[in-house]
């Protein structure tokens, strides 16, 4: 039995040389096969999942207006200037404006002298 | 987002397949280049026909791409699954072949010009490939997976849907038969008697 086993072991051990030779020269994949497999992979690949919107900063309506390449900030600056001028005129109206208002039966009185934030009685019927 | 191809080399097959299923094209390329040789080598040695082996390898990989979105991580190794599918495709083709005597299928695999520089290695490889073709299909499959693909017996058992003991038996019988076939050629192939 031992003799038989040892002869068998010797027989199979000799195969290692064959296996090593075969492993050192494996069949190599042709470029045609590689291309075909990759084409299949792309063809059956699911589309990328849409990016989750959660966590992104909220978009404000005025952001795209300001970000407009040609007129965004310029427009904002002009509107800001008008706002300042308008506030200045309202705070300290020129005489011509008061005369213009009185022509139409409107007078502005007591605005600067009294509570500047009170709107009561700004316009009175003349 | 696609990961750079170079960054994918260290990822496991399972991680790459998950990336592939999420639409990463670099993962598709990495998996293709990693797994195609596995399927092709096994098919070439099982079938002894390179054109048929290419068809089988492409079909096996195609099945992997199709099931990728439904792959359940942790249930099986991808390489084991691929060996199983490739083997089954080969066995299907072998069953459809008419029985051919060994001396008529002794068409050696074309191993490329680098092998021609080493005639002895080529001769041994051809002799082994021809001897493998003389084995029963399941013995050939087990011997190839164990000794040419370096799979562990439990992995072979999973790929062949057999017990480990059955795999060991197949390998032992296969190697005995290979020894009988190759014994006569040992001297001319450079092995000492």
Taking residue B101's Cβ as centre, other Cβ atoms within 10 Å add up to 8
- Per DSSP, helices labelled H in B68-163 are 78-96, 113-116, 119-133, 137-143, 153-160
What does the domain layout of chain B look like in residue ranges? 1-97, 100-193
CA distance to partner chain B, nearest, from residue A119 (Å): 58
Disruptive mutation site among A13, A17, A21 for chain B (greatest number of B CBs within 10 Å): A21
Gap between the Cα atoms of A56 and B75, Å rounded: 36
Query: Residue B60: which of B91, B87, B27, B34 has the closest Cα?
Result: B87
Taking residue A98's Cβ as centre, other Cβ atoms within 10 Å add up to 14
**C-alpha distance across the termini of chain B, in Å:** 60
Disruptive mutation site among A7, A27, A52 for chain B (greatest number of B CBs within 10 Å): A27
A46 and chain B: CB distance < 8 Å anywhere?
Answer: yes
pTM of the model: 0.66
CATH class of B100-193: mainly alpha
B5 and chain A: CB distance < 8 Å anywhere?
Answer: no
Alpha carbon of B74 to those of B14, B15, B70, B71: distances in Å? 8, 11, 12, 9
CATH fold for the domain made of B1-97:
Rna Polymerase Sigma Factor; Chain: A (1.10.1740)
What was the pLDDT predicted at B115?
46
Nearest Cα residue in chain A from B29:
A38
**Token digits for B168?**
């060991």
Query: Residue B176: which of B137, B146, B131 has the closest Cα?
Result: B131
ipTM above 0.85, yes or no: no
Q: For the purposes of burial, counting CB atoms within 10 Å of the CB of A99, is it exposed (0-12), middle (13-18) or buried (19 or more)?
A: exposed
Query: Residue B44: which of A30, A13, A20 has the closest Cα?
Result: A30
For the segment A76-95, the average pLDDT, to the nearest whole number, is 85
pLDDT bracket for residue A124 (50, 70, 90): low
Nearest to B124 among A21, A26, A30 (CB): A21
What was the pLDDT predicted at A23?
92
Beta-strand relationship, A106-108 and A123-125: antiparallel
Gap between the Cα atoms of B144 and B156, Å rounded: 10
CA distance to partner chain A, nearest, from residue B95 (Å): 23
Q: Which residues of B touch A6 (CB under 8 A)?
A: none
**Cβ B137 vs Cβ B48: under 8 Å:** no
A2 and chain B: CB distance < 8 Å anywhere?
Answer: no
pLDDT of A7 higher than 70: no
**Token digits for B92?**
């299907």
Gap between the Cα atoms of A90 and A112, Å rounded: 10
Q: What are A124's strand-pairing partners?
A: A107
Question: How many residues appear in chain A?
Answer: 126
CA distance to partner chain A, nearest, from residue B9 (Å): 17
**Ranges in chain B, pLDDT < 50:** 101-106, 115-117
Helices then strands, each counted (H, E), chain A? 6, 2
pLDDT bracket for residue A106 (50, 70, 90): low
- Candidate ranges A43-57, A94-108, B119-133; pick with highest mean pLDDT: B119-133
Strand segments, DSSP code E, in chain A are 106-108, 123-125
A30 and chain B: CB distance < 8 Å anywhere?
Answer: yes
What was the pLDDT predicted at B102?
45
CB spacing of A34 vs B186 below 8 angstroms: no
B112 and chain A: CB distance < 8 Å anywhere?
Answer: yes
- pLDDT, tens only, A110-121: 455 555 566 665
Nearest Cα residue in chain A from B21:
A46
Alpha carbon of B13 to those of A47, A107, B27, B157: distances in Å? 20, 85, 10, 20
pLDDT bracket for residue A90 (50, 70, 90): confident
Nearest to B40 among A17, A22, A27 (CB): A27
What was the pLDDT predicted at B55?
97
CB spacing of A22 vs B66 below 8 angstroms: no
Tell me phi and psi for residue B23, to 5 degrees: 100, 10
What was the pLDDT predicted at A40?
96
With a CB-CB cutoff of 8 Å, which residues 130-189 of chain B face chain A?
Answer: 131, 147-148, 172, 175-176, 178-179, 182-183, 186, 189
**Token digits for A89?**
């005129």
Taking residue B79's Cβ as centre, other Cβ atoms within 10 Å add up to 17
């Amino acid at each position: 039995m031992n003799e038989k086993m040892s002869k068998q072991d010797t027989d199979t051990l000799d195969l290692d040389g064959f296996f090593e030779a075969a492993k050192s020269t494996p069949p190599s994949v042709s470029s045609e096969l590689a291309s075909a497999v990759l084409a299949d992979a792309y063809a059956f690949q699911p589309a990328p999942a849409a990016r989750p919107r959660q966590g992104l900063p909220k978009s404000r309506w005025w952001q795209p207006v300001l970000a407009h390449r040609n007129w965004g900030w310029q427009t904002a600056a002009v509107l800001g200037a008008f706002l300042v001028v308008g506030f200045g005129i309202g705070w300290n109206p020129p005489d011509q404006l008061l005369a213009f208002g009185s022509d139409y039966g409107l007078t502005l009185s007591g605005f600067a002298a009294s509570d500047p934030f009170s709107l009561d009685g700004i316009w009175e019927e003349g | 987002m696609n990961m750079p191809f170079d960054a994918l080399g260290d990822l496991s097959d399972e991680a790459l397949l998950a990336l592939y299923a999420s639409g990463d094209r670099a993962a598709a390329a990495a998996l293709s280049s990693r797994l195609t040789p596995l399927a092709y080598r096994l098919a070439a040695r099982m079938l002894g026909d390179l054109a048929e082996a290419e068809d089988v390898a492409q079909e096996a990989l195609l099945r992997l791409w199709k099931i990728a979105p439904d792959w359940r991580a942790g249930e099986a190794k991808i390489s084991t699954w691929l060996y199983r599918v490739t083997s089954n495709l080969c066995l299907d083709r072998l069953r459809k072949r008419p029985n051919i005597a060994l001396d008529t299928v002794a068409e050696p695999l074309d191993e490329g010009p680098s092998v021609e520089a080493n005639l002895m290695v080529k001769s041994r490889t051809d002799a082994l490939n021809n001897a493998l073709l003389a084995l029963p299909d399941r013995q050939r499959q087990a011997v190839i997976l164990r000794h040419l693909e370096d799979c562990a017996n439990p992995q072979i058992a999973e790929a062949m849907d057999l017990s480990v003991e059955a795999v060991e038996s197949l390998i032992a019988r296969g190697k005995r038969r290979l020894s009988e076939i190759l014994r006569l050629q040992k001297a001319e192939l450079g092995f000492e008697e």
